[in-house]
Structure 1
Amino acid sequence: MLLNYYKKWRNGKRQGKGVLEYRRGGCYDGEWANDKFHGVGKYVWENSDEYEGDWQNGWVTGIGILRYVDGRIYIGEFKNNDRDGRGVLTMENGDVYEGDWIRDTLQNPVKIHYADGDKYEGEIEDNCYWKHGKGVMMFSNGDVYDGDWDCDNQHGKGKYTWEKDKREY
């Protein structure tokens, strides 16, 4: 599992700044305390996902950036290796989801800024990021839909307002 550790030791434990490399890939470069990742550091997994930010007693905890190999980027708060607290997730297509996270799940309500200029504020389905429940969609052309959503589709009660003539439906 462990390949190499470079830098400081104290009383037989890793301490201070150091680099840890694993045989199967993966690497940690950062601060240590009492033989655990602690302070600021960067970890790269075997699949090339990488985290850079705060660590506490071996756990990703604090503020950091998580870059996924598929192109997604999360910037925000972490607790016990999960996205937890305020954060922003940018998807590979440029859509941006912002809100509060608990144990790696984005909580309602959320704000979404789509790459095409549309914006949404409201509820989503857990971990699939579909508009689901109550929400307001502000289209880039100025139209607005305020109402119910089901699996990313307008569904149920709602009000649609056209920007060009202020008609409502």
Structure 2
Amino acid sequence: MELSKTIGEQSIVGVKVDLATQCKAQGNEAFKSKEFRRAEGYYKKGLQFLEAPQTCQYSQEELMTVGPVLATLHVNIAACCLQGSTVDSAKCILHCTQHDPLNVKAWYRRSQAFMKQKEFALAKDDVTHALGLDQQPSTSIVTLRRHLAALQAASAKVKAAEIASFQHIFRS
């Protein structure tokens, strides 16, 4: 059973997307105010609006409308999680990439989560993947390149600290 019934002039899916988009806007306002838990709550509420009942599923056409909104909500939840638990952030990103594997922000956020965990190789893979996606506006390319440079600097700093600590051990 598909969700293509209509309410007035708008389909059920259209109503669900509108409600989720409103939640996203409220979440964005909370995020800008640095109220990350509140923002995350709004984004999760948006996800609830987009859930399909177990007896239904979205058609391919409906998924083209719902998928990007789902992906954006998951990316935004991941941004909130980056303010706290990076494990939750990486988990949110997995949901996002399932709904929209070409989402540059998803790969960027996951790279940020890996960087925070000092998993520099994984972080580099993700930011490199994001740079390889074609649909990027030039501002995101600049942001990704800055992130890659910061990632390389952080990786070099950690390696230098490891080398210094091992040299100290062997000199004693």
Q: TM-score, normalised by structure 2?
A: 0.30
Higher RCO, 1 or 2 (CA under 8 Å, sep at least 6)?
A: 2
Q: Which has the larger radius of gyration?
A: 1
Greater strand proportion: 1
Greater helix proportion: 2
